[in-house]
């Protein structure tokens, strides 16, 4: 963190900064005054260095936490599947079966087609996004302070507060949408859908193409930015509440009550956002499978 007694602005900026790995260009002056004689791949110390690294930089913390949570999901569900029994099931098996049945029923209601990929994809998205969102309930200072003690300057542990993660997932869904739209309807059918809807006349092809492309491209952006916006706002509220702990005993106690109340309410938010991401994914894929 920026100093032993950071200001409120420094505290907030520190907690909202990703651990970034990238290439600093030759001639760049680092925060400690060192001027690079040649380009160098390194960890960014500050937002200015992260900005100088440009588009090819990696958010190491977002990648590590999202990969680790995805691995936990795979290993946990695999272990339950391998140990599943038709006898009296354990609590964990019951819990997993409830989630699988919940997702499967929603897919059956929303997806009007035949594709064995959709239900497993919906299950993966729901559980994975939920686990990423769930990290928001860990007190904001615990992991960053621990990582700083180990020499790691920054650490954001909620991957869904990183637009690179949410838009990356949305881009994956978008690629599947385009793939199945072309596979089901053919290239000609897909092009006709873009050019002859909603006005089925050659004169309106430019208007149709503009409206359909805007609607098509809006899907992944709305999918990714909705999740990012809600989770980022929730994380910001946790950080602002944590600032109150340094304002004296009264505000510290009041902040503690706010923290508990917001955490309880946030359980609904993180679950709802995972569900919405899953539902929109299934709906968009269902639209791609419809052949009029």
**What mean pLDDT is predicted for residues 108-120?**
90
Q: What share of the chain is helix, strand, coil (3-state, %, to 5)?
A: 70, 5, 25
At 185, list the tokens.
Answer: 């309807």
The answer to whether 159 and 135 are in contact (CB under 8 A) is: yes
The answer to whether 208 and 195 are in contact (CB under 8 A) is: yes
At 4, list the tokens.
Answer: 């032993």
Phi, psi of 178 (to 5 degrees): -65, -40
pLDDT band at 252 (very low <50, low <70, confident <90, very high): confident
Annotated active-site residue in 48, 94, 222, 246: 222
**What mean pLDDT is predicted for residues 30-58?**
86
The answer to whether 43 and 142 are in contact (CB under 8 A) is: no
- The domain ranges of the chain are 1-56, 60-289
Annotated active-site residue in 30, 106, 115, 226: 226
Output the pLDDT for position 54.
Answer: 85
Output the pLDDT for position 213.
Answer: 92
pLDDT band at 275 (very low <50, low <70, confident <90, very high): very high
Output the pLDDT for position 292.
Answer: 61
pTM of the shown model: 0.90
Annotated active-site residue in 164, 230, 246, 286: 230
Output the pLDDT for position 127.
Answer: 96
Residues in the chain: 292
Which residues are bridge partners to 22 per DSSP? Answer: 42
CA distance 168 to 260: 32
Give yes or no for residue 32 having a pLDDT over 80: no
**What mean pLDDT is predicted for residues 99-124?**
92
Active site residue 288: no
Give yes or no for residue 105 having a pLDDT over 60: yes
Active site residue 230: yes
Output the pLDDT for position 90.
Answer: 82
Give yes or no for residue 179 having a pLDDT over 60: yes
Active site residue 222: yes
């Amino acid at each position: 963190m920026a100093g032993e007694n950071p200001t409120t602005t420094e505290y907030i900026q520190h907690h909202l900064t990703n651990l970034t790995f990238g290439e600093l260009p030759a001639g760049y002056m680092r925060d400690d005054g060192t001027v690079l004689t040649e380009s160098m791949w390194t960890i960014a110390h500050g937002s200015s260095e992260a900005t100088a690294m440009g588009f090819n930089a990696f958010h190491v913390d977002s990648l590590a936490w999202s990969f680790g949570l995805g691995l936990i999901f795979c290993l946990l569900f695999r272990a339950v599947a391998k140990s599943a029994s038709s006898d009296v099931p354990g609590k964990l098996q019951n819990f997993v079966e409830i989630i699988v049945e919940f997702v499967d029923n929603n897919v059956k209601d929303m997806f009007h087609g035949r594709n064995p990929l959709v239900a497993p994809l919906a299950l993966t998205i729901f559980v994975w996004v939920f686990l990423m969102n769930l990290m928001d309930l860990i007190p904001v200072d615990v992991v960053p302070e621990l990582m700083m003690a180990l020499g790691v300057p920054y650490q954001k542990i909620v991957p869904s507060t990183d637009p690179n993660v949410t838009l990356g997932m949305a881009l994956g869904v978008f690629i599947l949408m385009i793939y199945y739209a072309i596979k089901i309807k053919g290239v000609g059918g897909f092009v006709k859908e873009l050019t002859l809807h909603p006005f089925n006349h050659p004169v309106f092809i430019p208007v149709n193409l503009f409206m359909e492309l805007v609607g098509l491209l809006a899907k992944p952006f709305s999918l990714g930015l909705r999740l990012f916006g809600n989770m980022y706002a929730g994380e910001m509220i946790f950080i602002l509440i944590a600032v109150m702990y340094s304002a004296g005993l009264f505000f510290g106690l009041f902040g503690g009550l706010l923290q508990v109340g917001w955490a309880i309410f946030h359980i609904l938010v993180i679950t709802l956002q995972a569900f919405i991401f899953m539902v929109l994914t299934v709906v968009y894929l269902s639209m791609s499978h419809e052949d009029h």
